[in-house]
Structure 1
């Protein structure tokens, strides 16, 4: 196999290349779970563009279950293999988020620039998932943020949100009264404020309310799965299955 020049990769193995092609065609047809299966097959065979497209597919929340960590890992691997766009994303987005140095102002601004007709942007969602996770870990705020978010979610009128809470596996005793537990200005308070601003930015960009809720639940759901509660949490759902 060889990596070619700038924009793409082609495998010398016909089966691997066919799997990649089938994956791309499935993506174009909106058959995202089928695309995921084909692209995973191609990626196992070392297809760099398949890795990149898996990052896009999961990051954009099109496939169910979706996995932000898997998406980010695919993009890192594609970058390591020389994929030009993946290299650009690693330097500009992924590595800063992993360090916790990607500014929350930038994150909120990027959310405000998303186009509802194009759906949730894969890089904005992946950045949000990883950055919130890292900030919570750096400031020992994970449990407080989870309790705040799940307590708030428990007041939702949407059945999809209550199904989400059940899938997290976090017991109600843990998050009860979480909305009232944060001191003003503490790290957890600042992080939940970023989530509030992120949601407001999506609404301002024209996203439907259910999509805004889904995005926030996905970010928090990823935080839960990366925390000590993760062993009880079920995989995250893609947008269509989450909303139902």
Structure 2
């Protein structure tokens, strides 16, 4: 029998608070994040302050979506995306599968020679946590700039009608995450699938005239367990377990 109990965050999504980097970019924009894609998760933005854009690249082409307070935007797996900060851009990020996009389901647009195996890639993207903040910032900024240069190359090729570089990047990204798929599946099974199954069980119970699950009503609240962490796109406040 499927349990009607699920006490995680609604829909088993993940949430983080993001202040997009204001470091000038390699092509002279006022600020921006690190281009990347997700392999098995959609991601959404609820813009809470400032203004900017999200630049996206898919096999169907390049696009830009304006962002300002009140905008809600989202994209599906495989969308290479890059946030541009035109002025104090702040976002609540809503992530599928319990925050999996921030827990491994992301590959940065690094040069192809850094995507050949998980160890090489991990070394290229790691931000050490045992060094001063200024040193962490330098690593995060260098990582972003390296990925941005490759993103601009992929964008140029796509706009010139050559899909091969973007396709090669997507294939390499899929290979990189393969060793982590068991962990990804556990997160999905214990989160999104369990939440959906609980809703189905509740609907069945209500249809049969039973409301026992309402007796288990509860309230939960939490705050960030990490503030200002250097992320892919900016400084993150993290809410693990959501």
Question: TM-score band, normalised by the shorter chain?
Answer: under 0.3
TM-score for the superposition, normalised by structure 1: 0.25
Give the number of the structure with larger relative contact order, counting CA–CA contacts within 8 Å between residues 6 or more apart: 2
Larger Rg: 2
The structure with the largest strand share of the pair is 2
TM-score for the superposition, normalised by structure 2: 0.25
The structure with the largest helix share of the pair is 1
